[in-house]
Amino acid sequence: MKIFVNLVCSLCLCCLAFFAQAETPLQQHSIVFGVHSKTAPLEWRNNGVDQGFNLELMDRIGQLTNKRIVIRRKTFQQLLTDVHDPYSPIDVIAVVSPITIDRALSQSDPIYATHAKAYTLQGKSFINGWADLVGKRVAIKKGAFVDVYISGKQQDFTRVDVDLYETGFQLLIKGEVDVVIAENFVARRLMPLYPSIRSSSDPLIYGAFNFVSNYNNAPLMAQINDALRQLKLSGEYDRLVNKWFGTGREKVDLNSAQKRMLSLAIFVSLLSAIGMLLTGYMSLSLRKRSKSLKIELAQRKKAEQAISKLSKQFQSVLDGIPHGVTLFNQDGECLWSNDNNNDLLSNPDFHYIDGQAFELKQALSDALTAQKSQITDMQIDNQYWQMQLHPIIDKQVVILLEQTTEQHRLRQANDEASRLASLGELSAGVAHEINNPTGIIIHSIAFISDALRDLSEASSQYQKQNPFWTIAGMAPDSAIDELDLSSQSINEGAERISRIVNDLKHYARPTLTNDYQPTCLNDVVEVSLRLTANQTKIFNVTTELMSPAPVVMGDAQQLHQVLINLIQNACHAIRQDADCYECNEHINITTTVEDNHICLIVTDQGVGMDRATLQRITEPFFTTRRSSGGTGLGLSVCSRIIKEHKADMQITSRLGKGTVIKIRFPLDY
């Protein structure tokens, strides 16, 4: 097996050596012409058959030089690489070279003149020169004569390299480039395939077709040039030009054309330089202007942000205030509102405090006519509001609504307090006047009591003498007893009047430090029940009094006042509850000792109180019975007296279940 492999390798090496030796004479009698059927200038392939000016011209050159023409097709970039390689099998390629720049290769005489122009989409502006390309995206075919021309020069546009002019046209349609700079003949062939593309400039670069080859093929290039000159002198060159380009049979003097084009190119370059200078100056001015505009724009944006932030803050403030704020025009149209209670303005029950109906349009008209701010008090149901109308510019009015129900009630309470204060001062004077006749009654009843004791014995003696004698229709003994009881009642009533007057005088005087005495709490309960007997007689009142009776340090009269007030409140609570009359126990009063405190507890089975009422029950002038004459001062005064006795009051209540009030006195008394 190893011998067989060695034999095959030896045969292969022999074949390679044979072909290597045979290639040299073939190369000496042929010209390898590199072309690209899709992109090489003046070359086409029709139904797989190679055609074109260069192919026919090369065939004639081959006949004149007695060499066979061999065609090799590669990409344009591969052809450029091969022609620079001295060992490449490609001998000659046809390319366009700028008329002002020679390629670093062996070149033939000019074959045909051409130029490159700018191509854009239909509707784009005309391009007058290189200066119009500043800032644009420009497609350039890599290695083409446009690439050779701009190499080493300043490029103020964005260059996009492409392998084919057709690739540049496709990018132009996609919007990925703005301009394509293409050789004229190739562009003319491609434009029918891309109808949305048009020529948009005069020639920007002039060039000429040449055959180029590596410098190692300089002798071959000399033969090609001799053949070209023979074809031009014989007129056959003109016939080929006319066949493929239809330009007539006249000769093209490329040397003179080259000079004219060079002059034109120099002129165009000068114009381009001037244009570039002007463009640079204008660009510098525009950059300065743009910079100042950017600064101004930034300042404006900053100011707008500040204004927007302030506007939002102002808006949030307006939306957050509890009062209604509404902006109207003269026709009554709402221009802006914070939607707080502004529906009142269209409510038919919303009226002036004096009862006059409120009309929005009339109020707006009056404010605009007077051009003065107006402040009025309004009412709806049991709520009170203050309405302010402020006329502003452009015949607009701002209406502010503020609820003043609490302020109104406070004013009423203040008026009531003033009236009660006046009544208190008057009562103090009346009390002084009442004390005089009360003193006379007490003094007189004491005299009558003493007289009755003396008359009792005389009555007994007189009755013996006159058995039918009566006093006021009654037996003398019964009459004397009834008179004695009446005098005691009159004395107790007078003393009660005196105590009440003294309490009233004491209440009217400024509060002074009290000299409290040991006071029996059970006695306070009994006295208070006697004083409220007329009110409690229709209720079932029970007591649970502790024994031995608890004693507290305090003022008995003030404690009477506290308990009497609590009993009266319990009676009022039960009167409001008709079903409670069926209960066996309406009011219960208890004295006891709990948790190191002496407690006085008043329990009723009345209507009870809700949480909101419980929170305000001891506030001055707060009452749920104002319509029936309540002043709201009872529990407020009781609370003050209890605090002065260093005690506290606990109130628990449930609607429909009743109320429990517990007064706790310190046990260390």
Average pLDDT across each block of 10 residues of the chain; the chain has 669 residues. List them in order.
40 39 52 72 63 82 89 81 85 82 77 89 91 92 85 87 90 94 86 91 88 85 89 88 61 45 84 89 88 89 84 69 81 80 83 86 86 88 87 84 81 66 65 76 80 74 74 75 80 75 58 71 89 83 91 88 87 65 71 91 89 77 60 73 89 89 84
Identify whether the C-beta of residue 621 lies closer than 8 Å to the C-beta of residue 416: yes
Rounded to the nearest 10°, the torsion over CA 52, 55, 61, 65 is -170
Sign of the CA dihedral with 133 first, then 138, 144, and 147 last: positive
Q: Which of 636, 645, 618 has the alpha carbon at shortest distance from 521?
A: 645
Alpha helices in 2-98 (DSSP H): 2-28, 53-65, 76-84
Alpha helices in 576-667 (DSSP H): 611-616, 634-644
Instruction: Characterize the bridge pairing of strands 30-35 and 92-98.
Output: parallel
**DSSP symbol at 119:** E
CA–CA gap between residue 665 and residue 593 (Å, rounded): 9
Identify whether the C-beta of residue 80 lies closer than 8 Å to the C-beta of residue 147: no
Residue 450 sits at the vertex; the CA angle it makes with 444 and 452, to the nearest 5 degrees, is 100
Task: Count CB-CB contacts under 10 A for residue 390.
Answer: 14
| Residue in this structure with the two tokens 């102002």, named with its chain if needed | 314
Identify whether the C-beta of residue 532 lies closer than 8 Å to the C-beta of residue 568: yes
* pLDDT attached to residue 7: 39
β-bridge partners, 43:
52
Instruction: Determine the 3-state secondary structure of 155 from DSSP.
Output: coil
* pLDDT attached to residue 173: 93
* pLDDT attached to residue 161: 93
CA–CA gap between residue 47 and residue 222 (Å, rounded): 34
Cβ-based neighbours of 37, under 8 Å, separated by 6 or more: 43, 44, 45, 50, 73
Identify whether the C-beta of residue 35 lies closer than 8 Å to the C-beta of residue 43: yes
Q: Which of 112, 58, 117 has the alpha carbon at shortest distance from 246?
A: 112
Query: What stretches of 111-190 adopt beta strand conformation (E)?
Result: 112-121, 137-141, 158-162, 179-183
Domain definitions of the chain by residue range: 321-403, 416-510, 513-669
Q: Which of 109, 107, 51 has the alpha carbon at shortest distance from 231?
A: 109
The pair phi, psi for residue 651, each rounded to 5°, is -125, 125
Query: Can you spell out the DSSP letters for 468-528?
Result: T--BTTB-HHHHHHHHHHHHHHHHHHHHHHHHHHHHHHHHHSPP-----EEEEHHHHHHHH
Query: What stretches of 314-429 adopt beta strand conformation (E)?
Result: 324-329, 334-337, 351-352, 374-380, 383-392, 396-403
What is the total residue count of the chain?
Answer: 669
Task: Count CB-CB contacts under 10 A for residue 326.
Answer: 20
Q: Which of 482, 483, 480, 492 has the alpha carbon at shortest distance from 442?
A: 492
CA–CA gap between residue 204 and residue 206 (Å, rounded): 7
Task: Count CB-CB contacts under 10 A for residue 58.
Answer: 21
* pLDDT attached to residue 627: 53
Measured between alpha carbons, how far apart are the two ends of the chain, in Å?
133
* pLDDT attached to residue 162: 92
Instruction: Determine the 3-state secondary structure of 384 from DSSP.
Output: strand
Q: Which of 669, 542, 517 has the alpha carbon at shortest distance from 593?
A: 669
CA–CA gap between residue 446 and residue 452 (Å, rounded): 10
Instruction: Determine the 3-state secondary structure of 596 from DSSP.
Output: coil
* pLDDT attached to residue 139: 95
The pair phi, psi for residue 445, each rounded to 5°, is -65, -30
**Tell me: the pLDDT tens digits for 559-618?**
888 888 888 888 888 865 545 445 555 899 999 999 889 999 999 988 888 888 877 777
Q: Which of 208, 247, 241 has the alpha carbon at shortest distance from 109?
A: 208
What's the pTM?
0.34
* pLDDT attached to residue 348: 86
Q: Phi-psi category of 352—alpha, beta or left, where left has phi over 0 and alpha has psi -120 to 50?
A: beta
Q: Which of 460, 561, 457, 550 has the alpha carbon at shortest distance from 504?
A: 561
CA–CA gap between residue 313 and residue 336 (Å, rounded): 16
* C-alpha count within 13 angstroms, C-beta hemisphere, residue 528: 24
* pLDDT attached to residue 498: 75
Cβ-based neighbours of 609, under 8 Å, separated by 6 or more: 617, 653, 655, 659
Sign of the CA dihedral with 660 first, then 666, 667, and 669 last: negative
Cα–Cα distances (Å) from 531 to 56, 185, 537, 546, 589, in that order, read 146, 131, 11, 21, 15
* pLDDT attached to residue 120: 95
Alpha helices in 195-352 (DSSP H): 218-234, 236-245, 254-320
CA–CA gap between residue 135 and residue 280 (Å, rounded): 12
Task: Count CB-CB contacts under 10 A for residue 621.
Answer: 18
Q: What is the CATH number of domain 513-669?
A: 3.30.565.10
CA–CA gap between residue 166 and residue 172 (Å, rounded): 10
Sign of the CA dihedral with 60 first, then 64, 70, and 75 last: negative
Question: Under CATH, to which class is 321-403 assigned?
Answer: alpha beta
CA–CA gap between residue 341 and residue 385 (Å, rounded): 10
Q: Describe the crossing of helices 53-65 and 218-234 by its angle, rounded to 10 degrees.
A: 100
